[in-house]
Amino acid sequence: MSDKVVKTEEQWREELTELQYYVAREKGTERPFTGEYTKEKRSGEYRCIGCGEPLFSSDGKYDSGCGWPSFSEALPGDAVETAEDNSGGMRRVEILCRKCDSHLGHVFPDGPQPTGTRYCVNSASLAFEPQDEK
């Protein structure tokens, strides 16, 4: 992975939409079943909205019924990192883009086998690149 992306808050606000900024930079959450990629079925790659780093593949995407795009695994490598999240009176594991620290969502141990993992990701944190456009 290349060097860490560092931008001022002003730069982030100029580059991201209001919703993208709220989710990726302020650790917000989009409303369930409203995200652009919740029902996306095409083959392709999901990248970080903040820096373009490849994070997830459509091969690992599935419909968990939770209202957000769900993935059973991140792409190989270290593009996604985790952190403890005790906000809102809950104990969860946050997922972040390692390259730019954008908030992606949360990871849970209730996904399908063989990983048993569910990466629950906000569409606002992602940019989808269809396979035929790579």
Please tell me which residue in 48, 97, 100, 120 is annotated as part of the active site: 120
Token digits of residue 90: 């809950």
Residue 65 to residue 63: CA distance in whole angstroms: 5
- The answer to whether 48 is a known catalytic residue is no
In-domain check, residue 53: yes
In-domain check, residue 3: no
Domain total in the chain: 1
CA distances (Å), 71 to each of 21, 30, 31, 89, 113, in order?
22, 17, 18, 25, 12
In-domain check, residue 2: no
Task: Check residue 50 and report its DSSP letter.
Answer: T
- Taking only the tens place, the pLDDT of each residue in 28-75 is 999 999 999 999 999 999 999 999 999 999 999 999 999 999 999 999
| CATH number reported for the structural domain that contains residue 42 in this entry | 2.170.150.20
In-domain check, residue 84: yes
**pTM of the prediction?**
0.92
